[in-house]
Amino acid sequence: MFLEKLIGSIIALWGIVVLYGAFKKATICKKGQIASGIVITVGGIAVLLSEIMNAPSKPNYGIVKTASNSNSLFKPAFIIVGIGVVVRIYNLICKNKIITVETQEKNKKEEFYKECLKSDIKQCKNEKEVQKAKLIAEKHGIKYSDISDLYSEAEVLVKKKEQKELDDSLKAKREEERAEQKTLVKYEGMTGREKRIAMLTAERAALLQTADTLKSGAKAVMNASQQKEKDWAIHGGIANGIAGPAAGAATALNIQAQNAQIRAQNKANLQAFSPLITNSYMGAVSYESRARGVAVSIDSAKTKLLAKDDVQTCLKRLAFTETKVEVSETGTCTVTTKVALTEPFTIFEDVKAVMGIENEHLELMGVIALGHPAGRIVSPGRKELEAFLVYDPYPLKGMCLYCGKKDRDYRVEFAAVDLWAMEI
């Protein structure tokens, strides 16, 4: 049958995978894994052969196959598979025991090395250090042939562990920095009204999302604090039908008393949670109000005048302060600064204007004063929020991933590729 062929193929494939793991990966209980792989593979092949050899003798007219006409290899094949599975399970148990013992021994050696460092044992070479190290090893129940070799082995284990922890930490930091840089260039390629509208639309969506979260939280607190009353008429009727009118009346009165307690507790809970619920709803109203204001700004931005002044002229209207470069442990350079207009200005002679920045092109270029083979580091700048400058200094931020070193000095230069003047 097809089912037997499928089962046999799967079992044989499993055995081959076990064998592959034994030859390519396994270092513990390798012989046991090889044995179990061989037995399982042979069992799978036997299941396949039993079905193939039995195929010509299958009835063609609805005759039920019985033990007398079944192939004699079928049951022994599954016995072989069973033996292989048992060997595999035993092998895994032995492997886990060995791994547990090795882990315990490894932990002992790490503790041994750390205690040696606390005892000011640096190399375990002179008599004083050797004697002290032996006492520490004895304390931790560690067997050894040469105490200096044990010290060196334990030192390697600790250094490898520390390096792995450092590598994992740096990996997590790099992922965090990549995510942040992706946010910083969220509106890359947009300019003028298009960028202004996109930014305001995202701001409005965030405000509405916060409002919904606050309202949902208030509703959840309200529902959790209020118990549902029971229907005394239904419970009384059930009791009446089972035990008679007296029992029904008693049950109804009891349910009403319980409901009175529930109402009292609900009232107390409402009073206790009322400030939290009220503040949440008031906060939601505030965020919704701000969202409506942003919607007005979005509509207004669609008709704002735009003057393409020369970028160098625009750049001269900007003043940068509090500029600094920070280098993380991954080598990522983060440039922060504050920028504002130096003075009010107009476009088309009488239209008050603000400066718009294609911030991905307001390049923050760090130049290493002590010299660097890469020369200048170009970092696309700033956060995804307000890009239209007024007179109060506004923070900008840019990142250059994995391009610097902590022991270098940097200075920052600003180059504007695309700036524009826009109606206020």
pLDDT digits (tens, 9 = 90+) for 322-340: 888 888 999 888 888 888 8
Judge whether residue 148 has pLDDT over 60.
Answer: yes
Listed in sequence order, the residues at least 6 apart from 8 whose beta carbon sits closer than 8 Å to its beta carbon are 44, 45, 46, 47, 48, 50, 51, 77
CA dist., res. 64 & res. 324, Å (int) = 86
Q: What is the DSSP string of 336-347?
A: EEEEEESS--EE
CA dist., res. 36 & res. 45, Å (int) = 14
Candidate from 123-137, 184-198, 231-245 with smallest mean pLDDT? 231-245
The predicted structure's pLDDT at residue 238: 55
In this prediction, residue 379 has a pLDDT band, given cuts at 50, 70 and 90, of: very low
Judge whether residue 199 has pLDDT over 90.
Answer: no
CA dist., res. 80 & res. 93, Å (int) = 20
More confident residue, 284 or 41: 284
The proportion of the chain whose per-residue pLDDT surpasses 70, expressed as a percent, equals 78
Judge whether residue 376 has pLDDT over 70.
Answer: no
Burial class (CB in 10 A: 0-12, 13-18, 19+), 103: exposed
pLDDT of 82-138, one tens digit each?
Answer: 888 888 888 788 878 877 888 888 888 989 889 998 988 888 888 888 899 889 988
Q: Which range scores top for mean pLDDT: 35-39, 177-181, 381-385, 414-418? A: 177-181
CA atoms within 13 A on the CB side of 112: 32
**H/E run at residue 154:** helix 147-184
Question: How distant, in Å, are the alpha carbons of 2, 71, 77 from that of 13?
Answer: 16, 23, 15
DSSP letter at 373?
A: T
In this prediction, residue 26 has a pLDDT band, given cuts at 50, 70 and 90, of: low
In this prediction, residue 368 has a pLDDT band, given cuts at 50, 70 and 90, of: very low
CA dist., res. 241 & res. 245, Å (int) = 8
Candidate from 22-26, 34-38, 380-384 with smallest mean pLDDT? 380-384
Amino acid identity, residue 313? T
What's the mean pLDDT in 213-221?
88
DSSP letter at 367?
A: E
CA 165 to chain CA centroid, nearest Å? 17
The predicted structure's pLDDT at residue 124: 83
The predicted structure's pLDDT at residue 6: 77
Q: Could you tell me which of 357, 405, 407 has the C-alpha nearest to residue 380?
A: 357
The predicted structure's pLDDT at residue 285: 92
**Conformation bin of residue 320: beta by default, left when phi > 0, alpha when psi is -120 to 50:** beta
Amino acid identity, residue 140? H
Judge whether residue 304 has pLDDT over 80.
Answer: yes
Listed in sequence order, the residues at least 6 apart from 422 whose beta carbon sits closer than 8 Å to its beta carbon are 192, 193, 196, 304, 305, 306, 307, 347, 353, 354, 355, 356, 388
What's the mean pLDDT in 36-49?
80
Structure-block tokens of residue 318: 């900007």
pLDDT of 243-268, one tens digit each?
Answer: 556 555 666 667 777 778 888 888 88
Instruction: Enumerate the H helices of 229-319 as residue ranges.
Output: 232-243, 245-301, 311-316
DSSP letter at 91?
A: H
Question: How distant, in Å, are the alpha carbons of 158, 160, 340 from that of 142?
Answer: 16, 20, 67
Listed in sequence order, the residues at least 6 apart from 96 whose beta carbon sits closer than 8 Å to its beta carbon are none
The predicted structure's pLDDT at residue 211: 93
